[in-house]
């Protein structure tokens, strides 16, 4: 296993790295997400993660610090930092057992060797010991003696970090200097490949970042364990050509014919689809990294703009609701309604835009944002483009239905649209690589419940209350299956939260009373549902389990508390996210202070007028609030769940309210009742 910290696919070419390029022709390739504990991964963190098989780090030391050469005591070499690193990581959130790789080799009675200080840190067992060590490849000669040999080549990263240089302010390295460093590493790899006995498995991995600008890294594997001409794939990501750093530990052990310890969270690589020409595959992976970089650089600005626009729509709507002129007020409300529907269409549009390869453009950022806006405009045009635009709920039902459909179909296709999406997840963040992300869950659940309420509204108008209730339950159950299934959404907290939200929506549609005891009962049903899913996932073979099955195993082993504590800490930490907190507060205030308040004469608020025209709207909105608040308490993304849910729910509720007011006879031209209408809908 040859570790080249900092190596990217952008570094590789037939002339600049001929050895690696030839190796890619002969073996399998992928991109590697190297996210560990912090926002970027220092070389020492990458080596420790390889050692532990789960995310590990060595905090409070300079990023470029050399781990030091091992000290020989008798026949054993001891890595100087290994024992301390193990103690630190066993107390961390991830409970990373550094030394798991070396322990697995020694437990099988085999030997493990290392070349270079980083390699020694990765190869050391739980006592800090390894069987052989050499400072450089040219001084090591026993390539066929040890089952596993780990080589540290820091040619690429060393110019950036040096000895103790901060990743916040790495040394300035020119394009020519980086290319020269890559050529040096390529030549070193060539010498290693020439020394390795025929028939051995060789993996080259860029297992860390070189600065605080994280990237996806290059991985190339050659040997009997790997299929030539195929992308590497693992159960950790379920994506051809994308793997994670802990997979490296499982892969090294599996390729060496050794058992993978239970504490290793990564999965061994398998072969994915064939990639044909290396040049095309390499360009695809460069584009994948480019998309991740664009999303990383723009997502904060996008959310700030999204929050500001949502709050401005709320303000415009409040002004329109306070207006005293009938015709002028209707124009303001119509404009605000259109903007509200467009805002509600934004989440679906952020996924649909990934149907277009915007990252290939010379300037991808403008194309990305233009695509999102164009998609939202198209969805709004569909919602308001037919005779149904005069209906109270139908335009919102269309937006909600498309949102739920986009998320649902994306899940069935392996979630390609969520990856590198502004409201999805990123391989650089490494929180999720497949299934239903937290923000996507909020939009999917809200879209499903509002769409179910819209269908129920159509059935209730035909006096089909029973069928309306069945429709809500069926749509909610289908969404819950998509959300919780290990092969699709693999969503733990979302599956729990969606059950009571669906139940509350169905109860209101059925004309039944919603009580705290019933809500609690349905919440427990959600817990039972996900517990059953986790148990069934646990019963599958180890290599086929998702994080749901692994969590079930941790519960039975008594090791689940650190995971729960980490999730709880992450949830509480989200409250400090100012944009999301403002978005949540603005949505709640607008909903309860503007739309629901009654006046002193007993008149209903704007939303009450919509409820009178479409009683099912109350069901969809209430169910969404139950699900979003449950998600806030259960999901590690915390405040993001209600924040995003409200960006869809509140605009849809306002759009229905605005249409209901426009249809009010008291507000019709020529009645002279404009002031009376104002009195009837005084803001609460």
Complete DSSP assignment for 225-252: TS-TTEEEE-TTT-STTEEEHHHHHHHH
CA atoms within 13 A on the CB side of 403: 39
Q: Phi/psi of residue 152, each to 5°?
A: -105, 110
The residues spanned by each domain of the chain are: 2-276, 288-680
What gap in Å lies between CA 122 and CA 43, rounded to an integer? Answer: 11
CB 476 within 8 A of CB 501: yes
Q: CA triplet 375, 376, 382: central angle to 5 degrees?
A: 90
State whether the Cα torsion 603-606-608-614 is positive or negative. positive
CB 204 within 8 A of CB 245: no
What gap in Å lies between CA 243 and CA 217, rounded to an integer? Answer: 10
Displacement of CA 17 from its chain's centroid (Å): 33
What's the confidence (pLDDT) of residue 438?
A: 86
What gap in Å lies between CA 127 and CA 556, rounded to an integer? Answer: 28
Q: How far is CA 142 from CA 185, 293, 353, in A?
A: 21, 41, 53
Could you write out the DSSP letters of every residue in 1-27? -EE-TT--GGG--TTTSHHHHHHHHHS
What gap in Å lies between CA 380 and CA 339, rounded to an integer? Answer: 9
CB 148 within 8 A of CB 97: no
Please identify which residue in the block is written with the tokens 């729990």: 496
What gap in Å lies between CA 142 and CA 300, rounded to an integer? Answer: 51
What number of residues does the chain have?
A: 684
- Contacts of residue 376, defined as CB under 8 A and 6 or more positions apart, other chains included, come to 342, 343, 345, 346, 349
Provide the token pair at 42.
């220092």
Q: CA triplet 345, 351, 352: central angle to 5 degrees?
A: 80
Could you write out the DSSP letters of every residue in 433-476? SSS--HHHHHHHHHHHHHHHHHHHHHHHTTT-HHHHHHHHHHHH
Q: Which fold has domain 2-276?
A: Alkaline Phosphatase, subunit A (3.40.720)
CB 104 within 8 A of CB 259: yes
What gap in Å lies between CA 401 and CA 395, rounded to an integer? Answer: 10
Of residues 401, 380, 584, the one with CA closest to residue 479: 401
Q: How far is CA 477 from CA 408, 448, 548, 597, 616, in A?
A: 13, 10, 19, 33, 18
What gap in Å lies between CA 10 and CA 16, rounded to an integer? Answer: 11
State whether the Cα torsion 188-189-194-197 is positive or negative. positive
CB 445 within 8 A of CB 411: no
In what helix (H) or strand (E) does residue 30 lie, and over which residues does it extend? strand 28-33
Of residues 293, 17, 15, 260, the one with CA closest to residue 153: 17
Max CA distance (Å), the chain: 102
pLDDT tens for each residue of 61-79:
888 888 999 999 988 999 9
What gap in Å lies between CA 518 and CA 622, rounded to an integer? Answer: 14
pLDDT tens for each residue of 399-439:
999 999 999 999 999 999 999 999 999 999 888 898 888 88
What gap in Å lies between CA 237 and CA 219, rounded to an integer? Answer: 15
pTM: 0.86
Provide the token pair at 593.
């202070």
CB 125 within 8 A of CB 103: yes
Q: What residue ranges of the chain have pLDDT lower than 70?
A: 163-166, 168, 322-326, 543, 562, 597-604, 663-684
What gap in Å lies between CA 225 and CA 251, rounded to an integer? Answer: 9
Of residues 231, 260, 668, 616, the one with CA closest to residue 459: 616
What gap in Å lies between CA 191 and CA 539, rounded to an integer? Answer: 46
What's the confidence (pLDDT) of residue 164?
A: 57
What gap in Å lies between CA 422 and CA 440, rounded to an integer? Answer: 10
**Residue 678: exposed, middle, or buried by beta-carbon count in 10 A (0-12, 13-18, 19+)?**
buried
Of residues 221, 631, 192, 243, the one with CA closest to residue 442: 631
Could you write out the DSSP letters of every residue in 122-163? HH--TTSEESEEESSGGG---TTT-SEEEEE--TTTHHHHTT
């Amino acid at each position: 296993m040859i570790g080249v910290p900092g190596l990217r696919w952008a570094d590789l070419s037939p002339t600049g790295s001929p050895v690696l390029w030839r190796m890619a022709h002969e073996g399998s390739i992928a991109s590697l997400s190297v996210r560990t504990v912090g926002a970027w991964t220092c070389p020492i963190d990458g080596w420790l993660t390889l050692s532990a098989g789960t995310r590990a780090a060595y905090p409070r030391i300079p990023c470029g610090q050399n781990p030091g050469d091992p000290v020989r005591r008798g026949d054993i070499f001891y890595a100087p930092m290994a024992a301390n690193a193990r103690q630190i990581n066993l107390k961390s959130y991830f409970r990373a057992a550094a030394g798991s790789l070396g322990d697995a080799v020694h437990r099988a009675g085999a030997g493990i060797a290392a070349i270079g200080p980083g390699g020694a840190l990765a190869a050391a067992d739980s006592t800090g010991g390894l069987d052989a060590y050499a400072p450089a490849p040219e001084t090591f000669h026993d390539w066929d003696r040890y089952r596993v040999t780990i080589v540290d080549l820091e040619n690429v990263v060393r110019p950036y970090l040096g000895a103790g240089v901060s990743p916040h302010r790495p040394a300035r390295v020119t394009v020519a200097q980086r290319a020269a460093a890559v050529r040096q590493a390529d030549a070193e790899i060539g010498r290693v490949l020439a020394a390795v006995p025929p028939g051995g498995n060789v993996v080259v991995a860029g297992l860390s970042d070189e600065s605080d600008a994280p990237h996806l890294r290059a991985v190339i594997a050659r040997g009997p364990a790997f299929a030539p001409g195929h992308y590497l794939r693992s159960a950790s990501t379920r994506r051809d050509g994308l793997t994670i750093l802990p997979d490296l530990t499982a892969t090294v052990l599996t390729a060496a014919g050794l058992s993978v310890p239970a504490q290793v969270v990564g999965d061994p690589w398998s072969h994915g689809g064939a990639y044909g020409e290396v040049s095309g595959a390499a360009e695809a992976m460069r584009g994948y990294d480019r998309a991740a970089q664009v999303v990383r650089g723009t997502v904060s600005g996008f959310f700030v703009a999204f929050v500001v626009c949502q709050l401005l729509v709320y303000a415009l709507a409040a002004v329109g609701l306070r207006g005293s002129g009938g015709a002028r007020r209707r124009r303001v409300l119509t404009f605000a309604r259109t903007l509200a529907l467009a805002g509600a269409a934004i989440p679906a549009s952020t996924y649909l835009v990934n149907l277009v390869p915007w990252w290939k453009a010379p300037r991808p950022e403008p194309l990305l944002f233009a695509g999102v806006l164009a998609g939202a405009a198209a969805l709004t045009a569909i919602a308001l483009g037919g005779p149904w635009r005069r209906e109270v709920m139908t335009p919102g039902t269309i937006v909600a239905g498309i949102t739920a459909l986009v998320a649902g179909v994306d899940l069935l296709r392996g979630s390609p649209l969520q990856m590198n999406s502004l409201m999805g997840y990123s391989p650089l963040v490494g929180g999720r690589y497949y299934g239903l992300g937290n923000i996507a869950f909020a939009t999917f659940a809200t879209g499903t419940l509002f769409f179910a309420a819209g269908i129920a509204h159509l059935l209730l108008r035909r006096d089909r209350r029973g069928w309306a209730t069945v429709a809500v339950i069926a749509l909610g159950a289908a969404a819950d299956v998509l959300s919780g299934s290990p092969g699709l959404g693999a969503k733990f907290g979302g599956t729990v939260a969606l059950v009571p939200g669906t139940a509350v929506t169905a109860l209101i549609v059925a004309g039944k009373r919603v009580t705290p005891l019933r809500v609690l009962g349905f919440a427990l049903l959600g817990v039972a549902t996900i517990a059953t899913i986790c148990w069934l996932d646990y019963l599958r073979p180890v290599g086929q389990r998702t994080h749901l099955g692994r969590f079930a195993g941790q519960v039975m082993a008594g090791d689940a508390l650190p995971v729960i504590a980490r999730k709880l800490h992450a949830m509480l930490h989200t409250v400090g996210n100012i944009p999301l907190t403002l978005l949540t507060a603005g949505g709640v205030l607008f909903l309860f202070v503007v739309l629901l308040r009654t006046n002193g004469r007993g008149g209903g608020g704007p939303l009450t007028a919509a409820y009178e025209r479409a009683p099912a709207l109350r069901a969809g909105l209430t169910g969404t609030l139950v699900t979003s608040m449950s998600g806030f308490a259960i999901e590690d993304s915390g405040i993001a769940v209600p924040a995003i849910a409200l960006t869809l729910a509140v605009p849809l509720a306002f759009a229905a309210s605005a249409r209901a007011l426009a249809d009010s006879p008291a507000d019709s031209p020529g009645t002279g009742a404009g002031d009376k209408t104002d009195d009837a809908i005084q803001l609460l």
